[in-house]
Structure 1
Amino acid sequence: MQSEKHLGDYFQKRSEKGKPGLPLFSVTMNNGLVHRDTLDRKTDTNLADEEHLLIKKGDIAYNMMRMWQGASGLAEQDGIVSPAYVVVAPNSGIDPLFASYWFKSPRMIYLFWAYSYGLTNDRLRLYFKDFAKIPAAPPPVADQRRFATALRTSDQAILQTQELIRAKQRLRDHLVHGLVTGQLRLSHFGDPIRSRSMPFGWKRKELIELARILSGGTPRKDNPEFWGGNYPWYTAKDLKSFRLAASQIQITESGATSGSRIVGPGTILILVRGMTLLKDVPIGVTTTQAAFNQDVRAICANDDVDPTFLAYALVGRRNQLIRMVTRSGHGTGRLQKESIAELPILMPQREEQRKIADLLTTADTELALLHQQLSQLCSQKRGLMQMLSRFLHSNDERTSPP
Structure 2
Amino acid sequence: MMKLAAYPEYKDSGQPFLGNIPAHWNLFRNGRLFSQRNETGFGELPILEVSLKTGVRVRDMENLKRKQVMADREKYKRAAQGDIAYNMMRMWQGAVGVAPMDGLVSPAYVVVRPFPEVDCRYFSYLFRTASYMNEVDAFSRGIVKDRNRLYWQDFKRMTSPVPSIEEQRHITRFLDAVGSKAQRFIRNKRRLIELLKEQKQNVINQAVTRGLDPKVKFKPSGVEWIGDIPEHWEVRRLKFLCHNLNEQTSEKQPGETYIALEHVESWTGRISLPDDEITFDSQVKRFQPGDVLFGKLRPYLAKVTRSQTAGVCVGEFLVLRATGNVSADFLEQKLRSKRVIDLINSSTFGAKMPRADWTFIGNLKFAYPPAGEQQKILEHIQKKSAEIDQAINRAQREIELMREYCTRLISDVVTGQVDVRGIEVPEVAEDELLALEEDTAESDDVIDDEGDMDETD
TM-score after normalising by structure 1: 0.58
Letter in 1 for 2:335: A
Query: Separation in 2 of the partners of 1:348 and 1:302?
Result: 14
Query: Separation in 2 of the partners of 1:106 and 1:306?
Result: 48
Query: Separation in 1 of the partners of 2:393 and 2:54?
Result: 19
Q: CA deviation at 1:70?
A: 1.9
Q: Are 2:294 and 1:294 aligned? A: no
Q: 1:175 to 1:16 in 2, by over 3 A?
A: farther
Deviations 1:36-94 (A, max 9, x none): 3243223231424x543332333322111221222223333333322432122344554
Letter in 1 for 2:138: A
SS in 2 for 1:41: coil
Q: CA deviation at 1:137?
A: 0.9
Question: How do residues 41-52 of structure 1 correspond to structure 2 at under 5 angstroms?
Answer: 41-48=66-73, 50-52=74-76
Counterpart of 2:103 in structure 1 is 79
Query: Separation in 2 of the partners of 1:173 and 1:155?
Result: 27
Q: Are 2:50 and 1:27 aligned? A: yes
Counterpart of 2:402 in structure 1 is 380
Structure 1: unaligned runs, 5 residues or longer: 182-187, 222-232, 249-260, 263-267, 325-338, 397-402
Question: How do residues 185-224 of structure 1 correspond to structure 2 at under 5 angstroms?
Answer: 199=227, 203-206=235-238, 209=241
Letter in 2 for 1:81: V
Identity %: 21
Whether the 8 Å CA contact 2:27–2:162 is kept in 1: the answer is: no
Q: 1:35 to 1:308 in 2, by over 3 A?
A: farther
Query: Separation in 2 of the partners of 1:278 and 1:71?
Result: 34
Question: How do residues 59-74 of structure 1 correspond to structure 2 at under 5 angstroms?
Answer: 59-74=83-98
Q: 1:372 to 1:320 in 2, by over 3 A?
A: same
Letter in 2 for 1:6: R
Counterpart of 2:365 in structure 1 is 346
Query: Separation in 1 of the partners of 2:41 and 2:181?
Result: 32
Counterpart of 1:258 in structure 2 is none
SS in 2 for 1:80: strand
Query: Separation in 1 of the partners of 2:220 and 2:194?
Result: 29
Letter in 2 for 1:206: L
1:57 aligned residue (43, 60, 81)? 81
1:146 aligned residue (174, 183, 190)? 174
Question: How do residues 2-401 of structure 1 correspond to structure 2 at under 5 angstroms?
Answer: 4-17=27-40, 19=42, 21-36=44-59, 37=61, 38-48=63-73, 50-91=74-115, 93-139=117-163, 140-141=167-168, 142-155=170-183, 157-158=185-186, 199=227, 203-206=235-238, 209=241, 236=259, 239-240=264-265, 242-243=267-268, 270-271=292-293, 282-284=303-305, 291-295=308-312, 307=329, 311-314=333-336, 316=340, 343-348=362-367, 350=369, 369=391, 372-390=394-412
RMSD, aligned α-carbons: 5.7
Letter in 1 for 2:50: V
Whether the 8 Å CA contact 2:86–2:97 is kept in 1: the answer is: yes
Q: CA deviation at 1:163?
A: 7.7
Whether the 8 Å CA contact 2:193–2:392 is kept in 1: the answer is: yes
Whether the 8 Å CA contact 1:69–1:109 is kept in 2: the answer is: yes
Query: Separation in 2 of the partners of 1:74 and 1:366?
Result: 41
Q: CA deviation at 1:133?
A: 1.0
Whether the 8 Å CA contact 2:258–2:312 is kept in 1: the answer is: yes
TM-score after normalising by structure 2: 0.52
Q: CA deviation at 1:244?
A: 6.9
Q: 1:79 to 1:152 in 2, by over 3 A?
A: farther
Letter in 1 for 2:70: T
Q: CA deviation at 1:269?
A: 6.3
Whether the 8 Å CA contact 2:125–2:410 is kept in 1: the answer is: no
Q: 1:86 to 1:362 in 2, by over 3 A?
A: farther
Q: CA deviation at 1:119?
A: 1.4
Structure 2: unaligned runs, 5 residues or longer: 1-10, 14-25, 210-216, 246-251, 274-287, 314-318, 349-357, 419-457
Q: 1:365 to 1:212 in 2, by over 3 A?
A: farther
Query: Separation in 2 of the partners of 1:191 and 1:76?
Result: 60
Q: Greater helix share, 1 or 2?
A: 1
SS in 2 for 1:137: strand
Query: Separation in 2 of the partners of 1:27 and 1:304?
Result: 52
Letter in 2 for 1:135: T
Query: Separation in 2 of the partners of 1:366 and 1:91?
Result: 54
Q: Which has the higher contact order (CA 8 A, sep 6+)?
A: 2
Query: Separation in 2 of the partners of 1:312 and 1:136?
Result: 59
Q: CA deviation at 1:103?
A: 1.9
Letter in 1 for 2:173: R
Letter in 2 for 1:149: A
